[in-house]
Chains A and B, each alone.
Chain A
């Protein structure tokens, strides 16, 4: 009985995913969603991949990392170089480029993670920041990455079906991972590393696992971005970019995948709506960060996930009491 309930919910989710895809795709094909909005939609999907992946490291594993942009740039450069230099037809090279971007970023994740993850808290934040900056400086000074002028002429291959399926794939992998035995081990490290270790959890292994998976998806997102922008340059992927992604994770709630999706959507669409206020974007971001930390450090959704159940509760609460995004006694979706 219980199993069928879960199966039913999987079925609903799958149907919803397909339905959203069909609706959005048809709207694009018929031109109801114009070129400009298509671009925003792609950025949004890429941001979702980035936010969800960083959330694994920061929200679920509980390790503040400030070098996520470094992995994005590694992925972007790898993917771009494969598309530009492999000589394969673009349509064949693109998926290979994306996967390689992810794999190379994951290798960097392992190489950086092994030393870095021995540190905790503030030190980890700083060392990842350091690695991110080193990646940027090295890319800027290497010959085959085009140096300071970056790479250009990357074929524009990122389209809605690709971006959408990668975003869905990322979210699915994250959900399954978090619900699994491995995921619980990862969460236990966030809750109390020493307790986790004394319960027999190989903390180094699980930290590295989470960190590497996060790096992999960041790399894939980098590849998508390279094939959307036509030109990439390492300065785009600096510390500020890492902070951008971090703001999305924090706003959505560290430890909530649906929160990440929500926040990535809000923070991608909002600046576009406020085009006239573009110069205030970072100002608004910074104030948002401070105010969030002071008054709602758990973000919009905290550690909860949006689900039909919670949506129902909200709807019920809307009429009556003050609306609170989540209450402590709400069971997870």
Chain B
């Protein structure tokens, strides 16, 4: 299975996402922001980082990259897409996901080992987890506070589209402790914490993040 990882100018966790794909047993395919061709990949990860320096607004410039035009269409057609951190911001700016990510309420960048609860296993990226499973993965962001209007939040909750929630500490002021959401179809997931940094016991706080990547590979094999 071939999972594309997009590199925008300023992407930082692209190599890490590719490593996670490989460790999960998939083939990572490097995609370039300026190339509109998705090269036949089976799914796409939009990695963390500071695309275009996060200037203007996080993800606001990346959303206009040539690769995104193709990707938005493909995602609307069902291609699985995972946006991590900056990738989540790009997905919101692209209107593939509702809401927005705003500056942390602490006003500081925060890097910590974050406990999460998986709230939905009905997505392409979380099917290998158990509902209610608690995991610890790194979180590192300056603008990770998830916001949306109350009606949207209620809709997300009602439709089971809240994918993961912060436990113990809400690190950035996200509404309703939301750490990640999906689109209605469940193929597009945005996540503020970094599962790709919790795939090896030596370098991560756990290997709890690996199942995001095994979920997609398993789903693709079965499809």
Q: Is B a genuine binding partner of A?
A: no
Which A residues are closer than 8 A to B by beta carbons?
Answer: none
Which B residues are closer than 8 A to A by beta carbons?
Answer: none
